[in-house]
Amino acid sequence: MSVLRFSLPLLVISLLVNVLLHPLTSNSDAILSTPNKNILLLTAHPDDECMFFAPTVLSLTKHHHVEDGEGNEKPLNVFSLALSVGDAEGLGDTRREELGKSLDVLGVQRGKRWIVDHPELPDNMTTHWDANIIAKVIEPYVREHHIDTILTFDRHGISSHPNHFSLPAGVLQYIANTPVESRPRLYSLITVPLIHKYIGPAASLLAKFDVKIAALFDDSTRANIHKIPVFVSGAGDWWTAIQAMLEHKSQMVWFRWLYVAFSRYMWVNEWIEVPLGSMDV
Ligand SMILES: *[C@@H]1O[C@H](CO)[C@@H](O)[C@H](O)[C@H]1NC(C)=O
């Protein structure tokens, strides 16, 4: 009896730790099965890339590869475009540098990352960015680099920041302006209800549980559109995301420490494809 009393909690703890250690990806084919496999992360401010998107970025840069035709594996082409320097407090120059360092940590290479400072796209909690301007600003990057998948916020923008939730509408505008054969696909990061947002590592456990349960009930005759791409970080990737966040020195005020400790988005990203013409952005 006493053996059981000690060994059972130990067993449960070791199981949980084991589950937390490993990254997990589900239905990523939807995002990866494009012809060029050139993926663009579109953000609004320096630090979005690690506060919200790190599980996806790290999975794409560290855990996924493409074949180069001769059987050799090479890294995926992951690009990053931030549409403001984050100058709301006059720290634009500093934050531009911090973004570069953060992307170094996340594995997005120089030459594949850009930051835009446009008068019509100011870093401002109360400013909605115009979809036509976003479409125009992203166009040269998307076209020149044959981007076929764009990852960005959804219409709630995770934190309800209007700069965030302006982005999917801007991308849809770009897609509408583009000939059918060269249109990229748009995926939005799903905003979860507040009650699920700050559950820390439990988010990883629950997301993995969901994926496993979904696999149990998997019905291959069902259309793929019901399957959402999910990226769950392991403890190693979570730690890398923290390192990236620490590069944003100007932003590490006390409540951001709380954020990185408890936010679900440091562990889990779920995506939904946004079709053209959908109002659901
Ligand atoms: C944000 O925009 C509002 C008006 O929309 C303006 O009053 C305010 O000064 C702006 N804030 C910054 C930091 O530029």
The whole-angstrom separation of Cα 264 and Cα 238 is: 11
Ligand 1 atom at shortest distance from the alpha carbon of 124: 1
Pair of tokens at residue 275: 């079709």
From the CA of 123, how far away is ligand 1's center (Å)?
Answer: 9
Nearest CA to ligand 1 atom 9: 124
Nearest CA to ligand 1 atom 13: 88
Out of 95, 121, 126, 163, give the residue to mutate to test ligand 1, the one with the largest number of ligand atoms within 8 Å of its CB. Answer: 126
For position 224, what pLDDT does the model report?
47
Beta strands at 149-153 and 230-232: parallel, antiparallel or unpaired: unpaired
Are 203 and 267 within 8 A, CB to CB?
yes
**Which residue matches tokens 């301007």?**
133
The whole-angstrom separation of Cα 262 and Cα 146 is: 36
**Which residue matches tokens 């699920």?**
196
Three-state secondary structure along 145-211? CCCCEEEEECCCHHHHCHHHHHHHHHHHHHHHCCCHHHCCEEEEECCCCHHHHCCCCHHHHHHHHHH
From the CA of 161, how far away is ligand 1's center (Å)?
Answer: 14
Q: Is the CB of 18 under 6 A from ligand 1?
A: no
Element (H, E) at 231: strand 230-232
Q: Is the CB of 119 under 6 A from ligand 1?
A: no
Q: What is the pLDDT along the chain (281 residues), one digit of tens a residue?
A: 566 777 888 888 888 888 888 999 999 988 888 888 999 999 999 999 999 999 999 999 999 988 877 888 888 999 999 999 999 999 999 999 999 999 999 999 999 999 999 999 999 999 999 999 999 999 999 999 999 999 999 999 999 999 999 999 999 999 999 999 999 999 999 999 988 899 999 999 999 998 888 888 776 555 444 589 999 999 999 999 999 999 999 999 999 999 999 999 999 999 999 998 774 44
For position 206, what pLDDT does the model report?
92
Q: Is the CB of 162 under 6 A from ligand 1?
A: no
What are the domain boundaries of the chain? 22-273
Class of domain 22-273: alpha beta
Q: Please list, in sequence order, all residues whose beta carbon lies within 8 angstroms of the beta carbon of residue 150, skipping any fewer than 6 positions away.
A: 39, 40, 42, 138, 142, 171, 184, 185, 186, 187
For position 74, what pLDDT does the model report?
84
The whole-angstrom separation of Cα 225 and Cα 248 is: 37
For position 70, what pLDDT does the model report?
84
Element (H, E) at 232: strand 230-232
Nearest CA to ligand 1 atom 8: 124
How far is CA 158 from each of CA 10, 91, 123, rounded to the nearest angstrom? 36, 23, 16
For position 16, what pLDDT does the model report?
85
Ligand 1 atom at shortest distance from the alpha carbon of 122: 14
Q: Is the CB of 228 under 6 A from ligand 1?
A: no
pTM for this structure?
A: 0.92
For position 276, what pLDDT does the model report?
86
